[in-house]
Structures are given as C-alpha cells and as structure tokens.
Amino acid sequence: MGGRILVVDDEERMCESMRALLSQEGYEVDTALDGIEAIKKAQKGRFDMVITDLRMSPIDGIKVLEGVKEASPQTLIVILTAYATLDSAIEAIGKGAYDYLMKPVEFPDLKKTVERGMEKLEWERRQRELMIELREKNILLEQRLRELDAVYEASTSLISVLKLDDSLERIVNLAADVLGAKLGSLMILDEKGKYLTIKAAKGLEEDIIRQTRQKVEGSISGWVAQKGEPLLVEDIELDPRFRRLNRQKYETKSLLSVPLKIKGKILGVLNMNNKSSGDPFNKSDLRLLSTFASQAALAIENAALFEESRKRIKELSVLYRIASNLPSSENRESMILMVCQGLMEIMNVENCYWFQGEGKEFNLVYTCQEGKPTSFPPLKLKIEEDLSSENLSQRVHAFLVANGLLSSQAKGTLSVPLMIRGKLRGIFSLSAPEELSEREKKLTSILVSQATSLYETQSAILSAGQLMIMGQLVSEISHDLKQPLTSMRGTLQMLKQKWDKLPSKEEYLNNLEKDIMTLSDLVRELLRFSNPQSYARQPKQITVIIDRALELVGSELEANDIRVEITSPSPLPSLLLNENEILQAIINIIFNSIQAMPSGGRLGIKVQEVKKKGRNFLKVEISDTGVGIPAENLSHIFDRYFTTKEGGTGLGLSIVKRIITAHQGEMEVKSTLGKGTTFNIYLPIL
C-alpha cells in the first residue's frame, strides 16, 4: 500500500527502531528528534501519517499535533506515551488525533494501526476522486442538457418568430449562450453574393454593427460563405489559411464560423468568438453550432418570406390609399405630404424634398421632415442638361449636401422630374441611408407620376378659379366707372347749355376735375387687377411681409406713441401670395389703425392657423385700441369712396378688400366705440 510516515521522538534509538520496522513494511519513513523539527518537515512536505511521542521538549506531542494539522489537515496523527492519562487521551482525540497508544507498544499493534490509517486515507482519496469525477460528469450532463434545450428552443420558438429582425437577434443570443461565447455575429449575404453585413450581434458596439460591410473576397466569414462549409480555428494566428486575413485580435485566438444554408443556398454566416472560459472551441462546439445553424437558416427563410409578403401587402395598401385620397387633397402641401408619408411607410426613406420652379431655377419649398424650409439658394439647371433621373439625382444630392440638408455619407438619393405639358415644372427627391433597389425606384416614380397628374389638374382648376375672381373684380371696377362718367356727362351738358347764364363756372370745373381723378384711380386699379402679374404668386411667409410693413411705417408708429405686440407661432405654413399686393393691404390697415389712435395706444398683430368652412386658413388679426367705428358704419367701411375722415378718399379699405378677395381670402371687422377695432384676414393655406 505504501505511504509516507514521520516518526517524532526525543530518543534517537526509538526513531531508528521504528524507521527500520516500518520501512520493512514498504513505508517511506522520516524522523524528527523534537516537535519543532517535526512541524517544519510537515510544512515542507506532505506526510500521510505522523507518529509522535506525547512528552517531549521544547514542545509536547499535542503541540506537534496542532502544528501538523495546521500545515496538513489530512495527515493522520498517532500519539504514543508511557504516561497515559484519561485527560491527555481525551485532549488528543478532541484535537484530531487518529489513535492513542501506550508505550511500550507492540509492533503488530502499531502495524495494524498504521495499516488501518493508510486504508482510511486511501478510502478518503478514492472518495474525493469519485466526488470530483461525479461533479465533472454532472457539469458535462448539465451542459449537454442546456445544449439540447437550446437546440430544441431554436427548432420551435425560432420558427414561430415571423419578424426577421427578432429572429436574427434570438439566433445570435441563443448560440452565444449555448457555446459560452463573448462575441457573436450573424452576417447576411447580399443578393449579388459580394458583401456580408451584420444584421444582429452580441458583444459588438452599435457603430461596428451599423458600419460593417465586409467583402466576401479576403475575409474569414467570406471564406465560409464561399465554401459553404463550417470552420473551426483553434489558433487564428497559427492557421496558415487565415493569418493574412486576421485583422482583429481575439482574446482566445479561437473562433467558429458556420454557413446558414438551406436548399443549397447560402443565406449568411454565423460567427462565434472568445469563449468566456478562455478555452479554445472544439469539434463538439462546431457540431452543435452547425446543428443550430440549420435550424436558424430555416427560421430566417420563413421570416424573410413572411416579411416579403407583408411588405408587398403594405405597398399595395399604401398605393391604394394614396390613389384614393390624392384627388380629395385640399392643396399641394397635403398632396406632397401624403406621398412622402406613404413612401416612408414602405421604404427606408429619411426625408423627401419638393423643388418648384420653371426654366432654369428651382426653389426648395418643402421638406417632409421639417415642413417649410428656411431660405435656400435656388437649384440652377441648364436647359441643355441631361435631366434623366440618374443625373438629376446627382445634381440634387450635391445641392442638398452643399446646403447642409444631407450628409455626404448618405448613399441613397433619388430625384424624379415633374414634367407638365413637356416642361420641367418641379422636382421630387428623397434621401435614404442605403441605395434604393430598382423596385423602390419604380415605386417612387409611380407615386410621383400620380401626384404630378393630379397636381397639373389642380393647377388648371386653380388658374380657372383665379381668372374667375379676377373677372369679378374687373367687372366691379368697371361698374364703378359708370358713376364718374355719368357725373361728367351731366356736368358737360349743363356747361354746354347754360355756359353764358352760369354765375360761377369754377364749381362745375372742380367737379369735372374730381371725376377725372376718380376715373384715373379706377383705370389704374383696373389695369392692376387685369394684369396677370397681379395674381402671379410665390410661396411666402406672411410673417416676413408683416415685418416689412412694420418697418415701412415704423416712424409713424413711433411719432404717434404706438407700441406694437406681435404673436406668431413657429413654424407657420407658407402661403401663395403676391408679396407687393399683400404688403399694400397690411400697410393700409395699419395706417387706418394709426389714424384711429391720435393719442397713442397698442397695435396688436396675431397670426395663427384656423379652420373655417372646412378649409385651412392662416388668420392675421390686426387690432388697435383706438376710437372705434360706429355700428351704423361697419357695413360700409369696405365701400369705395366711403370715409369719415376729413380729406379721406375712401379707397384704402376697398382696395384691401379686393386684394384679399383676389387671393381667395376673406375679411371680417369688429369694433367697439372707445375701445378699438379688429380686422381679421383669412388667407388659404397651400
């Protein structure tokens, strides 16, 4: 059986005698002549048993027992003594002595004690080995159960997950958990089989996931995708196949990469790196990941098919909704917004842009994300340029980047020309983080073509409506011409018949002069409203025109001690306006308010969006704290020549009324004597 024994006794003869007897039995025996030497030897080397005398100096056998047990708790201690007492025996056994023998001890008795002790140690050793082996078997069994549970979960739950992104995330997390990997990634092969992109990952930063676009040629994952075979690398720095391809320092230098393959088609690659334990991956890991990957590939294909079907259904639904709602859109803005929102629903679109113009210059008038843009320089095009969608997209992309509306890193920009009666009248553009597919480009062109057709129809209707309004205004002004003409004809007849008999001719001549001046004013107004430029309009911000009007009348406001209060939310929608006409209308109303506050007061201007008669309007409210207007005069203030001011012409508010009417707007006035007057202007939103 053997074993190492240390004999401790202060009698050298006793030590040598026991060494000789025990060595004959096959034991390795060492001796010590005092307790201190014994403890030192026990600290330096392991002994299976220590046989020590009880009474020694400088320390006794109990101290030796304590010192040896501290150094080696498993060592068995046998106490020998010629002075046995019950107390010393109890103390020795209580402190862990294996046996307590009386001197002189018979060797057969000592031999049996040593043999029983060695058997006990051997049994304890075997028990420890069995426990260790049992724990290892349990750990291995638990690992296999986890692996089987994970594979079962992959084969059941993954197939039930129909959303592709959720499937990919779960695949990576399950695989990493099963294999104990710190890093994992699932890479999908593009349609042309040239690039691999990370679609899901564990342990990688978001920037790496988003930016990685790996060529198949010259990469480890690409090697697996090309070969269609699983790969185990125990030490990437020593593997001759991949030493030149290794760009990343992995902690364990070991990796797994298996293809996601179904029906002979490679969908992508599943990678695992850096075991948490620090150990390299093994063939068992590779087999497990390959089994897992076959389930994952099936789940990916099912999810992709479902995603594609759902995408097609959504496209058809959006196209139908837009086709149904476009004809009923109130204005150009709602039409553009409808197309933008539809495209963003079915495509990965970041923003849409609308350029409007004719000829060589096109102004950016709308962006889907920001609404009405601030002022930008026009996009200039040459008539002889190739205005195909591809070239136009390049020009618009450069314009958007130059004006800070688009990152130079943006990969997808598509521009569609809007041709109306053979002329370029507008440009619809969109930006996307990735290049658009041919299907997406075609879909965009279809939607924009629908919008263009309706836009052309609505423009024609709008022009007809404007012409009708202009015709009504010209008819009204022409009707007003009759009054001064009738007056002039009567005066001339009187002068002709009674020239010599009239005592004073100056009064009649003055009346003729006034009538001529009235005719002159009416003719000028007639020419202005009959001129096409009077209703040629551009998208404008009403607040800019209001600021300009206040700037022009600023000295009058200051001279009359009138403070101005402006309330305007931001942002406001643009309006189709003739800037000069609206500027004149606002100035006329402000002058009217100034004259109503000779002793100073407050001029309030408030702008807000409102709904009136089912339409969207921008309401401009101009109020004063002046003398007010008598109730009997309120219904006449917009009549031509009606005035209550000395020297007034009565033309100011009538012109305002006609300007607002020409813009398809409406006016209201409210007034209280002694408290002030409020003019409300309603202008239709684009």
* Residues 346 and 311: beta-carbon distance below 8 Å: yes
Rounded average pLDDT over 610-620: 87
Rounded average pLDDT over 136-157: 66
* Residues 363 and 355: beta-carbon distance below 8 Å: yes
What does the pLDDT look like over 219-238, one tens digit per residue? 888 899 988 999 998 877 77
Rounded average pLDDT over 145-149: 64
Which pLDDT does position 155 carry in this prediction?
57
> Which residues are bridge partners to 426 per DSSP?
356, 418
pLDDT band at 619 (very low <50, low <70, confident <90, very high): very high
Rounded average pLDDT over 672-676: 90
Q: Which structure tokens are listed for 600?
A: 């100073």
3-state secondary structure 620-649: EEEEECCCCCCHHHHCCCCCCCCCCCCCCC
Rounded average pLDDT over 194-221: 87
CATH code 3.40.50.11540 for 4-127: no
Strand, helix or coil at 3? coil
Quote the CA–CA distance of 592 and 596 in Å, as a whole number: 6
Quote the CA–CA distance of 579 and 2 in Å, as a whole number: 113
Which pLDDT does position 250 carry in this prediction?
45
Distance of CA 443 to the CA centre of its chain: 24
What does the pLDDT look like over 114-126, one tens digit per residue? 889 888 888 888 8
**184, 180, 380: which is closest to 276 by C-alpha?**
180
Long-range pairs for 11-20: beta carbons < 8 A, 24 or more residues apart: 11/53, 14/53, 18/51, 18/110
Q: Which structure tokens are listed for 355?
A: 């350029």
pTM assigned to the model: 0.37
Which pLDDT does position 526 carry in this prediction?
60
Map tokens 């052309």 to a residue.
Answer: 456
Map tokens 């008598």 to a residue.
Answer: 630
Do the two domains 161-309 and 329-436 of this chain adopt the same fold? yes
Q: What is each CA distance from 62 to 39, 44, 72, 78, 559, in whole angstroms?
A: 12, 20, 15, 11, 116
Quote the CA–CA distance of 456 and 460 in Å, as a whole number: 6
Distance of CA 297 to the CA centre of its chain: 28
pLDDT band at 566 (very low <50, low <70, confident <90, very high): very high
The residues near 330 (Cβ < 8 Å, ≥ 6 apart) are: 615, 616
Which of 73-87, 361-375, 641-655, 669-683 is the least confident region?
641-655
Instruction: Tell me the pairing of strands 361-367 and 213-215.
Output: unpaired
Strand, helix or coil at 108? helix
* Residues 366 and 372: beta-carbon distance below 8 Å: yes
pLDDT band at 179 (very low <50, low <70, confident <90, very high): confident
Which pLDDT does position 299 carry in this prediction?
73
* Residues 654 and 494: beta-carbon distance below 8 Å: no
The fourth-level CATH superfamily of domain 329-436 is: GAF domain (3.30.450.40)
* Residues 79 and 94: beta-carbon distance below 8 Å: no
- Boundaries of every domain in the chain: 4-127, 161-309, 329-436, 537-684
CATH code 3.30.950.10 for 537-684: no
What does the pLDDT look like over 260-309, one tens digit per residue? 988 888 989 999 988 888 888 888 888 888 877 887 787 777 777 777 77
The residues near 346 (Cβ < 8 Å, ≥ 6 apart) are: 311, 314, 315, 318, 443
pLDDT band at 331 (very low <50, low <70, confident <90, very high): low
Quote the CA–CA distance of 498 and 51 in Å, as a whole number: 166
Which pLDDT does position 647 carry in this prediction?
38
Nearest 5°: phi and psi at 199?
-105, -20
Quote the CA–CA distance of 563 and 548 in Å, as a whole number: 16
pLDDT band at 319 (very low <50, low <70, confident <90, very high): confident
Whether residue 461 has pLDDT greater than 90: no
State the chain's mean pLDDT as an integer: 79
Whether residue 561 has pLDDT greater than 90: yes
Q: How is domain 161-309 classified at the CATH fold level? A: Beta-Lactamase (3.30.450)
Quote the CA–CA distance of 17 and 628 in Å, as a whole number: 136
Which of 193-202, 274-283, 420-429 is the least confident region?
420-429
Whether residue 74 has pLDDT greater than 50: yes
> Which residues are bridge partners to 188 per DSSP?
197, 268
The residues near 253 (Cβ < 8 Å, ≥ 6 apart) are: 234, 235, 236, 237, 280
